[in-house]
Structure 1
Amino acid sequence: MTAPARLAVLISGGGSNLEALMRACEDPAYGAEVVLVVADRDGCGGMDLAEQRGIPTATIKVNDYAERADWDHALATELQGANPDLVVSAGFLKIMGPQVLQAFPGKIINTHNSLLPSFPGIHGPVDALNYGVKIAGATLFLVDEGMDTGQILAQCTVPVLEDDTEDTLLERIKVAERAQLVETVGIMMRSGWRVEGRRAFLNSED
């Protein structure tokens, strides 16, 4: 039997996306396992979820380092020690630097709560709501040196309702976003992925 692919997951909060991934990994047919969880701050509930499952964890805070490059180096070193096949940024609120990106070229993904390239940044849902769009959603993409600018792997949509608030729209997006993340990571780990210019494809075959 082929060994499951190795996932390292980066978090900054409660870990709902992490929990969804860990539950999916309980099925051998999913083809992956979480081998490391890294947080950028203390008190992340997702760390408790990982530790309950015996998954190694690390907390690497920017403020613990004199320079941002030192933090970037520490994060790259921690991730390399786990030898992941894919690094999943799941609600991780830090932009990764060149050392991490160079250590895992084309192997870091992030999920964002808007339909990129529209509404990048940390206020995607409220920006979409204020703009008056009728459809919102989430995007899973490959991380590059920009902010929410990498090649798109998958997108899902949710309707914007007339009585939506930021909170109700965000919650609807989160549900779709989690499902998309789990499904897409599974496909990537079982079938691979490839990039051709600006386009990314969920299999490694030509």
Structure 2
Amino acid sequence: MLKKGAIIVLDGIDGSGKTTISKLLLDYLKEHGREVFYLSEPNESSDTGKLIESMLRKRDSNKVKTNKWVELFTKNRKESEKTIKESLNNGKIVILDRYYYSTLAYQLEPKKWQAYSEQFIKPDIVFILDVDEKIGIARVKYKYEKTKEKMAYFEKEKILKEVRRKFLAIPQFLKDNIKIIDSSREIKDVWFDIKREVNEIVFGN
């Protein structure tokens, strides 16, 4: 009998721990016999994703209009939709490291959230990893010191403060199954809370 697929989203400001938790989740599900499809936005397997990533690193990224960012991220997200649907139909667990919630928080005003979100596949559960923007920036800087990459346009404390506020407001506007997780704690504590919720969704216990 084919197992039921599900979409699990991890979202939040830069430096909130999304990618770290995504990898823990990926390994955990595979160890427990589930096939997994993992996707991180922007999806750089497409030309749109590559363009977004290059634009984020440019010095003049602040000159890009908001509606252009929305257009590009929406197009990139739509390009992945077929693969996501196929994965679900094949009983896979889809892990999304960012989803349309990022566009809501980074680019759109709350009055547009509901209409914008309706064009995408609804996830089974969403974890918004919440961390103070100062902690987020410190984590991002530490990562880039190791990788020698340039910080992206949105990775600024002032921007992340506003984005964090909007992430925390999303559950008031959407009926999606959203859990706010305090990710300022140690990873093992964050993972404990997420694993408990995932077990209910995926394994029914």
TM range (shorter): 0.3 to 0.5
Structure whose residues are more often strand by fraction: 1
**TM-score normalized by the length of structure 2:** 0.41
Structure whose residues are more often helix by fraction: 2
**TM-score normalized by the length of structure 1:** 0.41
